[in-house]
Amino acid sequence: MSDLLLSVEEAGVLIAGKPFFENLTFHIHAGRKIALVGKNGAGKTTLMNIITGDREIDDGTRFLYPGTTTGYMEQKASGIEGKTVRDYVFEGLSDELEDWDIDYRIEMVISPLLLNVDDKLANLSGGQLRRAALARALVEEPDILLLDEPTNHMDLELIEWLENYIKNYRGAVVIVSHDRRFLANTTDRVFWLDRGSLKTAPKGFAHFQQWSKDMLEQEGRALHNRAKKVEQEIDWANKGVKARVKRNVRRQSEAFEARDQFEKDQKAYRRVTSTIELPPMTTEQSSRNVAEFFNVGKSFSDAETGRTKLILENFNMRIKKQDRIGILGRNGSGKTTFLRMLTKEMTPDVGRVKIAKNLSFSYFDQNRSMLKEDKSLKDNLCPEGAEYLDVRGKSRHICGYLKDYLFDPEDAWRKVSTLSGGQKNRLMLSKILANPGSMLIMDEPTNDLDMDTLDMLTNILKSYDGTLFVVSHDRDFLDQVVTKMLVFEGDGKVEGIVGGYSDYIAWKKTQTSEDVQKKKSGKSKSAKTETPQVRKDPVAFTFNLKHELEKLPKAIKVLEKEITKLEELMADPDLYTKDADEFARISTRLPAAKEELDTSELRWLELEDIKAAAKT
C-alpha cells in the first residue's frame, strides 16, 4: 500500500456562490501528524469536511487511496439519548468485533480517559461527553484521524496520555487545537490556512512561529518591490496615452488593475500581520496583602461510599497584591474549593481565611454562567436600552468595543445562543475585562479560543496590575502569564512553586527519593501527622509575643527588599557568564530568603491570631 492516503489538487470551493478556496492543494501521508491552523473563519472545518468527504469540492481533484478510512472527533457528542458510553463509542464498529478486541480497546482508550462504559451519556458532564467523543474516534483506529480541540476540559495527565497516544499512532492525524504546547509535542507538519490558500510547513508546530514569520517577511519584501513597480506604471498611466493604439490602452488598463490588486493584497497582508492592542488594565487600589489562609482544613463526605475526602489540610498561604498564580490539579483535587473560599462562597472546617476589606473580584467561569443566552451581545454588555458601556472609566460604543474582541459590528444584535463556544468565551472575556476589579479569577479561559484570541488574552493579562488566579491546563499559556504555581495533588497535598508550568516540571524532576521519604515520615508541612488541632483554650498574648509581633513587620520588609534585589540580579541572562560565583551565591540565597519570608509571614499570622483570640 502506498503511504499516500489522500491527495487534493487545485481544488476550488464555493460558499454562497463565492470562491472560498482556489487552487487548494495538499497531501496526507501515512504516519504524518499535522497541525491545522488558521484564523477564525479561515476554513478549518471546511477543510476537515473535504478530508472526510462530507464536503465535495467544486473544482479540481480529490483522490482517496482505496480502502482508506477516516475518523472525526465530534466537537459535541450527538445522538446520545438512551445510550451508554459503550453503545456510543462502539456503535460505528463492526458487529463481528470479538469480545477480547472490545476489552482491549476499553483498556487502551476508554479507561485512560476516565470513562465508565456502563454510564449513561445523558448523565455525563460536558467534559465527559467530549472525552466520549474522543474515545469514539480513537477506538475506530482510522487511517486518517481528525481531532478538533481534543484537549478542551482535560487535565494535564490526560493531555500527556493523549500526546503519547498520538505519537505512537500508526495512521495520519490532523489536529485543530489552541494548545500550542500540545501541537508542538505531537506534530511534524503544519497546514496553514491563510487568506484562502493553504501553505504547508515542512516541520512541526514547534518550528511554525519562525517559519510563518519568515514567510510573511518574504511576502512583505515582495509587496514592497511591487509597490515601486505599480507606482511607476500609475505615473505613466496618469500622464495620458499619447498615441491611442491598442497596446498603450491595454497597458493603461493593466496598470490600474495592478494598482487595485496591489491595494487588495496589501490590505490582506496588513490584516494578517496586525495585532490587537488594548490599553493596559489598571485596577483600583487594594491592600498589599489581599488574602491569607492560616492552618486551613477542609474535607467532604462522599454520600455514596461514606468516606471522607480530604481537600485541604494545615494549608497556609499569603496572597499579595499583583501575585500572578496558576492553579493546576485533577478534577476534585480542591481547586474549586480553594477559589470558593477565596471568594467567601465557602468557609473552612478549621483555620481561618482573611480577605482584604476593599478587595473586588471578577470571575471568569468556564460554564459562562454570566451570559444570558436569550439576550443579544449588546444587552449582555450594556445597561438596558443603552448602546454605550463603561470600560475602565471610559465610555465606549458597543460596536467599537466588540471589535476589540474580533466581533463584527453587526454581531452586537445577535443572540448569544447563536454564537459558537469560542465566540461565547470571547464575549465572556469582553464582559469580565471591561472592569476587572482588583482580583481576577479565570477558570479555564482558553477553552475554545482560537490562537489570535489566545494571544490577545495573553497580552491583556500580562498588562493586568491586580492579583491574578488562572486555572488552566494550557501549559504555554501558564508559562506566559503566571509567576507562581499552586498544584493540588489530592489528599490535602498542595505544592507551591515559584515560576510557571515549566518550572514546576523542572522542580518535579529534581525531587529525590529522600525527599519523598521525608514527606512520608511526617516532616512535611502537609503530612497528616501534623494536622493542627483546634485550640480549645486561648493562648495568652504575653509581653514576649507582643514584642515579637512588633518586630516582625520590619523583618518582613527587609526580606522583601532583599528578595526583590536578588530577583533583579537573577533576571540578568548574562550573570552566570559574567560572575559564576555570584550566580551560585544568589541561587543559594534566593530560595533561602523566600523560605525565611514565608516563615516570618506565617509567624506574623499566627501571632495576629493569638492576639485576636486574647481580646475575645
Does residue 282 lie within any of the structural domains?
Answer: no
pLDDT at 317 exceeding the cut of 60: yes
What distance in Å separates the CA atoms of residue 564 and residue 511, rounded to the nearest whole number?
A: 26
- Of the two residues 93 and 444, the one the predictor is more confident about is 444
Residues 348 and 429 in one domain: yes
Domain count, the chain: 4
Domain stops at, among 181, 206, 231? 206
Task: Please compute the mean of the pLDDT values over residues 490-518 and round it to a whole number.
Answer: 77
Does residue 536 lie within any of the structural domains?
Answer: no
Does residue 255 lie within any of the structural domains?
Answer: yes
State residue 96's pLDDT score.
67
Task: Please compute the mean of the pLDDT values over residues 574-579 and round it to a whole number.
Answer: 83
| Three cell numbers written together for 263 | 491595494
Task: Please compute the mean of the pLDDT values over residues 372-385 and round it to a whole number.
Answer: 90
What is the percent of the chain with per-residue pLDDT over 90, rounded to a whole number? 27
Residues 459 and 353 in one domain: yes
pLDDT at 589 exceeding the cut of 80: yes
Q: Cβ of 385: how many Cβ atoms within 10 Å?
A: 7
The CATH number of residue 586's host domain is 1.10.287.380
Does residue 537 lie within any of the structural domains?
Answer: no
- Of the two residues 298 and 273, the one the predictor is more confident about is 298
Q: Rounded to two decimals, what is the model's pTM?
A: 0.69
14, 20 Cβ separation under 8 angstroms: yes
The CATH number of residue 105's host domain is 3.40.50.300
Domain stops at, among 221, 244, 273? 273
Residues 242 and 347 in one domain: no
Does residue 432 lie within any of the structural domains?
Answer: yes
What distance in Å separates the CA atoms of residue 488 and residue 338, rounded to the nearest whole number?
A: 10
Residues 334 and 477 in one domain: yes
pLDDT at 538 exceeding the cut of 70: no
User: If pLDDT is split at 50, 70 and 90, which confidence band does 88 have?
Assistant: confident
Report H helices in 27-96.
Answer: 44-52, 85-90
pLDDT tens-digit map of 396-430? 999 999 988 888 889 999 999 988 777 888 899 89
Cα-based distances in Å from 514 to 206, 359, 510, 519, 521: 36, 42, 11, 9, 10
Strands laid side by side in the 197-201 sheet: 70-72, 144-148, 172-176, 33-38, 189-194, 197-201
Residues 106 and 189 in one domain: yes
pLDDT tens-digit map of 160-180? 999 999 999 999 999 999 899
Residues 269 and 381 in one domain: no
Cα-based distances in Å from 495 to 3, 134, 292, 295, 488: 47, 31, 16, 15, 7
Residue 440's identity, in one-letter code, is L
Does residue 125 lie within any of the structural domains?
Answer: yes
- Of the two residues 523 and 364, the one the predictor is more confident about is 364
Domain stops at, among 206, 223, 254? 206
Residues 155 and 98 in one domain: yes
State residue 24's pLDDT score.
93
User: If pLDDT is split at 50, 70 and 90, which confidence band does 460 have?
Assistant: confident
Supply the range of the domain harboring residue 581.
543-615
What distance in Å separates the CA atoms of residue 469 and residue 471, rounded to the nearest whole number?
A: 7
Task: Please compute the mean of the pLDDT values over residues 267-272 and round it to a whole number.
Answer: 64
φ, ψ for residue 415, nearest 5 deg: -75, 145
pLDDT at 283 exceeding the cut of 60: no
| Three cell numbers written together for 332 | 476534585
The three-state secondary structure class of 608 is: helix
Cα-based distances in Å from 571 to 175, 465, 578: 37, 20, 13
State residue 531's pLDDT score.
34
pLDDT at 108 exceeding the cut of 80: yes
pLDDT at 529 exceeding the cut of 80: no
Q: Could you tell me how far CA 558 lies from the centroid of its own chain?
A: 37
567, 499 Cβ separation under 8 angstroms: no
State residue 252's pLDDT score.
65
What distance in Å separates the CA atoms of residue 330 and residue 316, rounded to the nearest whole number?
A: 21
Residues 317 and 189 in one domain: no
Residues 438 and 420 in one domain: yes
What average pLDDT does the structure give for the chain? 82
pLDDT at 304 exceeding the cut of 80: no
378, 398 Cβ separation under 8 angstroms: yes
Longest dimension (CA), the chain: 109
- Of the two residues 455 and 532, the one the predictor is more confident about is 455
Does residue 496 lie within any of the structural domains?
Answer: yes
Segment of 66-70, 326-330, 607-611 carrying the highest mean pLDDT: 66-70
Residues 423 and 498 in one domain: yes
Residues 344 and 424 in one domain: yes
| Three cell numbers written together for 343 | 471568594
pLDDT at 526 exceeding the cut of 70: no
109, 153 Cβ separation under 8 angstroms: no
Does residue 538 lie within any of the structural domains?
Answer: no
State residue 271's pLDDT score.
61
pLDDT tens-digit map of 224-263? 787 777 777 777 667 665 555 556 667 667 776 777 776 7
State residue 441's pLDDT score.
93
Nearest to 293 by CA among 602, 45, 566, 611: 602
Residues 246 and 191 in one domain: no
